[in-house]
């Protein structure tokens, strides 16, 4: 979904500018602002434009939005231009002093202000409740999560899961050094397992070892360091949306997962008081429920079986929801395995000698 940043100007003593963020089928976010961009003042106070009256406004700026992401009660925006391109909006709700009602406070800030601020540093994440964690029944010596509600159950994927009232929201696959070495013998199956993890938006592979351990010939018994390096590189290349974390010990791995789960819950709990923003985030940010790599590969293979020949653009038209890099990766893998061959530049056919 493409988002657009629009700035309009009018004659008004307090709020002469209007900033609009629009895109796709989402409702527009329109904010009345004291300035078109925060300058020396630092923060620019904004109000929601509830009247939506277009009279008197003249458009002075229109830019594509490169990134739109939520961090707690803040939304970070990156514009597609060289200068004045990074900013964020802080959404707050304040209670009236004289009645039991709330009003919005929206602050428009730039990256420069945030980086130069000398205020005491404060993390965005805070979750006041207890976490509910599921540990797979097959975990023989599980990590401990003191102060959390822990249950043992059979997980469809992963070894540890975080859940809330809506179900499982995060999954972690745990591997010791010995576990990872064992997976080298079945890399394609392991890739499928990791692809299943990505069904969940928040997922990670946590390895209880340092990366350098896989390049140490004294530790590797059955594989060369070159093979191990290629295998680890393949993990990152085939699963760019999966967090792969190296922790030097069991204790550090346990701590990392605890903090990871905690921050996920905090971020979900810290909702921005603006339905449009939450709607945009749900559609514009990465959606972890999208089709996994191996599912895409099988669908593409079915198309190949039914076609005399095909091109990259043929597959792109057939699977518009799949990104270009994934389609190219599938084509590269099928060529490497001789399942398809090049007929001419950019044109491929099925290799009939391979069943």
- Decide if pLDDT at 161 tops 90: yes
Quote helix, strand, coil % in the chain, to nearest 5.
30, 30, 40
Report the C-alpha gap between 120 and 245 in whole angstroms: 29
Whether 115 and 121 have beta carbons less than 8 Å apart is answered as no
Question: Which position has the token pair 């091109």?
Answer: 311
**What are the strands, taking DSSP E only, across 57-112?**
58-71, 74-79, 86-95, 102-110
Whether 246 and 211 have beta carbons less than 8 Å apart is answered as yes
Tally of CA atoms within 13 A in the half-sphere of 185 that contains its CB: 6
Element (H, E) at 223: none
CATH number of 132-269: 3.40.50.10130
Residue 168: strand pairing partners: 163
**What are the strands, taking DSSP E only, across 249-302?**
none
Tally of CA atoms within 13 A in the half-sphere of 71 that contains its CB: 11
Q: 308 is written with which tokens?
A: 């005399």
**What are the strands, taking DSSP E only, across 137-288?**
149-153, 160-164, 167-176, 202-208, 243-246
Q: Which of 139-143, 178-182, 188-192, 330-334 has the weakest average pLDDT?
A: 330-334
Residue 40: strand pairing partners: none
The contacts of residue 242 (CB under 8 Å, 6+ apart) are: 194, 197, 198, 203, 204, 205
Question: Which position has the token pair 């392991």?
Answer: 190
Report the C-alpha gap between 96 and 165 in whole angstroms: 31
CATH number of 293-350: 1.10.10.10
Give the pLDDT score at 286. Answer: 33
Report the C-alpha gap between 284 and 69 in whole angstroms: 8
Would the pTM of this model clear 0.75, i.e. be above it?
no
Q: 189 is written with which tokens?
A: 């199956």
Q: Which of 89-93, 158-162, 208-212, 283-287 has the weakest average pLDDT?
A: 283-287
Percent of the chain with pLDDT over 90: 36
- Decide if pLDDT at 334 tops 80: yes
- Decide if pLDDT at 290 tops 50: no
Residue among 204, 97, 105 at smallest CA distance from 160: 204
Report the C-alpha gap between 163 and 264 in whole angstroms: 10
Give the pLDDT score at 252. Answer: 96
Rg over alpha carbons for the chain, rounded to the nearest Å, is 25
Greater confidence (124 vs 351) lies with 351
Report the C-alpha gap between 32 and 50 in whole angstroms: 9
Domain edges within the chain:
3-116, 132-269, 293-350
Q: Tens of pLDDT along 45-72? A: 998 888 878 889 999 999 988 888 877 7
Fold match, 132-269 / 293-350: no
Parallel, antiparallel, or unpaired for β 86-95 and 102-110? antiparallel
Report the C-alpha gap between 166 and 29 in whole angstroms: 27
Give the DSSP per-residue string, 184-212.
Answer: GGGHHHHHHHHHHHTTSSEEEEEEES-GG
The contacts of residue 354 (CB under 8 Å, 6+ apart) are: 337, 338, 339
């Amino acid at each position: 979904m493409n988002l657009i940043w629009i700035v309009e100007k009018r004659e008004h003593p307090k709020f002469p500018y209007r900033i609009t963020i629009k895109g796709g089928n989402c409702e527009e976010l329109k904010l009345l602002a004291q300035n078109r961009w925060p300058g020396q003042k630092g923060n620019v106070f904004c109000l929601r434009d509830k009247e939506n009256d277009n009279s008197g406004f003249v458009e002075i700026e229109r830019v594509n939005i490169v990134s739109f992401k939520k961090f707690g009660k803040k939304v970070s925006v990156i514009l597609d231009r060289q200068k004045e391109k990074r900013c964020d909006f802080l959404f707050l709700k304040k209670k009236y002093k004289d009645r039991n009602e709330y009003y919005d406070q929206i602050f428009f800030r730039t990256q420069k202000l945030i980086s130069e601020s000398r205020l005491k540093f404060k993390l965005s994440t805070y979750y006041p409740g207890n976490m509910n964690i599921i540990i797979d029944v097959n975990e023989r010596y599980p990590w401990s999560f003191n102060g959390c509600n822990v249950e043992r159950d059979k997980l469809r994927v992963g070894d540890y899961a975080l859940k809330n009232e809506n179900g499982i929201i995060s999954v972690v696959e745990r591997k010791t050094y010995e576990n990872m070495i064992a997976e080298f013998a079945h890399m394609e199956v392991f890739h499928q397992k990791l692809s299943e993890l990505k069904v969940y938006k928040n997922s990670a592979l946590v390895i209880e070892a340092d990366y350098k351990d896989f390049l140490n010939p004294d530790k590797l018994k059955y594989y060369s360091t070159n093979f191990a390096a290629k295998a680890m590189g393949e993990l990152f290349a085939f699963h760019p949306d999966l967090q792969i974390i190296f922790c030097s010990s069991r204790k550090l791995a346990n701590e990392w997962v605890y903090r990871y789960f905690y921050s996920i819950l905090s971020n979900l709990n810290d909702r921005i008081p603006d339905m449009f923003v939450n709607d945009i985030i749900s559609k514009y940010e990465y959606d972890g429920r999208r089709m996994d790599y191996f599912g895409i590969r099988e669908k593409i293979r079915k198309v190949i079986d039914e076609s005399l020949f095909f091109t990259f653009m043929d597959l792109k038209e057939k699977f518009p929801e799949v990104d270009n890099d994934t389609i190219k990766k599938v084509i590269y893998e099928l060529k490497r395995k001789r399942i398809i061959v090049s007929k001419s530049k950019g044109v491929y056919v099925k290799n009939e000698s391979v069943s």
